[in-house]
Structure 1
Amino acid sequence: MSVSEPTPGQGPAAAPAQQPSATESNPFAPPASENTEVASEKTEAASENTEAVPSDAPQPSAAGRGLPRAAGVALAVAGLLAVTATSAAVTVVVGRPDPAGRAVAAPAVTASASASASASASPSPTPTPTPPPTVAPRPASTLQGSVSGGKHSGDLRYFLLPVPDNADPYGSPDGAMLSMEDLQAQYSDSVDIKEVLDSWGFKDAAGRTYRLRDGKTEIRSELKRFGRTDRAQGFADHSGYGDDSFDIDGVSNAKGYIFKPKEQAYTGALIGIGVVGDVVYEITVEVQGDPDKALLFDAMKRERDRLTNG
């Protein structure tokens, strides 16, 4: 994510400076500015037979996935795809402003016996059809939050993209708050992400990932809250994964990026960045083969609505 430094009393610049590509292997990534930008490059690859194991930790390790996501966030997944690997390196540029899973209930198997009234027939058992397994209802969340005039108060996790009925979340159903250490782990050691975020008036961050039960699609929502709406807008305007972005259908004030795999057996990704008031939201969709932009459009709309209406 790239950001330029505003003069005192002014908000951040409205648009990022355009710069030529930093590396041949990643045409999307702009180079870091000498004074205001720092970049972290993550090259991702996974063997064809290797699957990562889901963790109950709020922010699973990026090892084994190698997938592009907001500021390099990568999550573990079990049984999502037989092969999860991408061949391209993705560079994320960031800069400063100027001066739980569900429980499955075991079905009860019952049988009733009926006796024939005829003297020539003996009692014969009549099996009762076994009901299919049912999924226990997801516990109701106790998180609270509200939004007024673009300012979001309460627990930031309350505003995370809701998990649909045909999906299961990793870790806590409520999602997780992200510490500065969690955010720093998404960048190389040369990037002081705390200094960058503090320069924008950063307050806190939260994230949640869920997997659709088709076993092919993962969606992650990550939120960053700032002290002022103009600072959140500036951070969003100057955040990105290269110059080749596209508009999000039905969502203004947002942009998207696509990462197609070299082979259909590999995992592709879509990333969307938008802002509502004092919160910047980032949605990452991972799916086998060439990703369908409609998946990102739908998730971005639902996250925008959640942040707008609470």
Structure 2
Amino acid sequence: MSAHDHVPPVADPAAAAPAVAAPATGDPTAVEPATGRKRSRAAAVALATAGLLAVTAVSATVTVAVGKPDDRPAVTAATTAAPTSASPTASPTPSASAPATVPPPAPVPTPTSTLKGSVSGGRHDGDLRYFLLPIPAGGESYGPADGMPLTDEEMIKEFGDGAEVMRALHTLGYKDAATRTYRTADGKAEVTVTLLRFATAAQAEFFAKNDTRDLPTVEVTGDSAAHGYISKPKQQAYTGSLSGISSQGDVQYTVDVEVKGDPDKALLSELMKRQRDWLTSGR
């Protein structure tokens, strides 16, 4: 579920997890999720054309509403009806019949992705969603399990600055984007991964380096090209967040993590490394 010379501060297309707030009544330590997600993000984007440097300044705030994953349908075990007793008027020598055997319900099949992609020399071909960091075992996706492509219209809505932001991105070599948010199996973290594909690796790297947030920085180990940010909650019952930004080949990627209480930077470092490895090898 968020350029050079003063590039367009760019908003994060990735949706962040719902903020949490203490309820007005009841247990003061209890929390309940808010109904939407909000993240502010600024980035500088250098716009270069043949022999001419064009600079456009834009600012944006992204607000994306994301719902909770749909509840999994409960599987109800089939029951076996008890045999009825023989009627007094039935055959004088009734025989008890064995109860019918009811087969157990078939297991719910695990969805299999049909997305295709390949990487060679830092160039990523195929469906960009293929390169989103795979959801770990037990995790639940918000929305389609394969993730969602972001059209220009959706990007404009999220960046909130009209067509100007898209003109800036396309001048920089932007091609397409994809995002996916999932909740970890233990329910303690929500992770949003957003990928932006550019025409060249240099353009993706430039965008990543100039994508900044007005937050304290945090070290991201395992990804030497990354820079990270941290937001600690005022109270441990509230939501803290971590964000990592980097690029691999012609793809710029952002990983946003939301957890209750103070976030652990080790989690962000692990996710950033895994995303980089996935983009590097394509598997």
Q: Which residue of 2 aligns with 1:18?
A: none
Q: Which residue of 1 aligns with 2:47?
A: 97
Q: Is the 8 A contact 1:103 1:135 kept in 2?
A: no
Once the two structures are superposed, what CA deviation does each residue of 1:41-70 show, in whole Å capped at 9, x if it has no partner? xxxxxxxxxxxxxxxxxxxxxxxxxxxxx3
User: How much does 1:84 deviate?
Assistant: 4.9
- Which has the higher mean CA deviation after the structures are superposed, 290-299 or 202-211? 290-299
2:4 match: secondary structure: coil
2:77 match: secondary structure: coil
Q: Is the 8 A contact 1:101 1:168 kept in 2?
A: no
Kindly report the root-mean-square deviation, in angstroms, between the aligned alpha carbons of the 2 structures. 3.4
Q: Which residue of 2 aligns with 1:210?
A: 182
- Which has the higher mean CA deviation after the structures are superposed, 240-249 or 100-109? 100-109
The question of 1:178 aligning with 2:140 is answered no
Q: Is the 8 A contact 1:202 1:225 kept in 2?
A: yes
User: How much does 1:269 deviate?
Assistant: 0.7
1:143 match: secondary structure: coil
Q: Could you tell me which amino acid in structure 2 is paired with residue 82 of structure 1? A: E
User: How much does 1:74 deviate?
Assistant: 3.9
In structure 1, stretches of 5+ residues that fail to align are: 6-32, 41-69, 114-130
Q: Is the 8 A contact 2:181 2:191 kept in 1?
A: yes
Q: Which residue of 1 aligns with 2:221?
A: 249
Query: Structure 1 pair 260/154, CA: closer, same or farther in 2 (3 Å)?
Result: same
Query: Structure 1 pair 101/83, CA: closer, same or farther in 2 (3 Å)?
Result: closer
User: How much does 1:195 deviate?
Assistant: 1.7
Q: Could you tell me which amino acid in structure 2 is paired with residue 201 of structure 1? A: G
The question of 1:108 aligning with 2:58 is answered no
Q: Could you tell me which amino acid in structure 1 is paired with residue 248 of structure 2? A: V
TM-score, normalization by structure 2: 0.70
Query: Structure 1 pair 93/229, CA: closer, same or farther in 2 (3 Å)?
Result: closer
**How many residue pairs get matched?**
231
Structure 1 vs Structure 2: percent identity of aligned residues?
A: 42
Query: Structure 1 pair 209/77, CA: closer, same or farther in 2 (3 Å)?
Result: farther
Once the two structures are superposed, what CA deviation does each residue of 1:75-117 show, in whole Å capped at 9, x if it has no partner? 5699xx62559xx98452343335186844514155799xxxx
Q: Could you tell me which amino acid in structure 2 is paired with residue 97 of structure 1? A: L
1:301 match: secondary structure: helix
Matches for 1:118-129 after TM superposition, within 5 Å = none
Q: Could you tell me which amino acid in structure 2 is paired with residue 108 of structure 1? A: A
2:212 to 216, 233, 240: 240
Question: In terms of Rg, which structure is larger?
Answer: 2
Q: Could you tell me which amino acid in structure 2 is paired with residue 281 of structure 1? A: Y
In structure 2, stretches of 5+ residues that fail to align are: 21-30, 54-68, 83-103
1:300 to 252, 272, 276: 272
1:208 match: secondary structure: strand
Aligned mates of 1:309, 1:102 — CA distance in 2: 34
Q: Is the 8 A contact 1:101 1:172 kept in 2?
A: no
The question of 1:145 aligning with 2:117 is answered yes
User: How much does 1:306 deviate?
Assistant: 1.1
- Which has the higher mean CA deviation after the structures are superposed, 300-309 or 104-113? 104-113
2:47 match: secondary structure: coil
Matches for 1:153-302 after TM superposition, within 5 Å = 153-189=125-161, 192-242=164-214, 244-302=216-274
2:158 match: secondary structure: coil
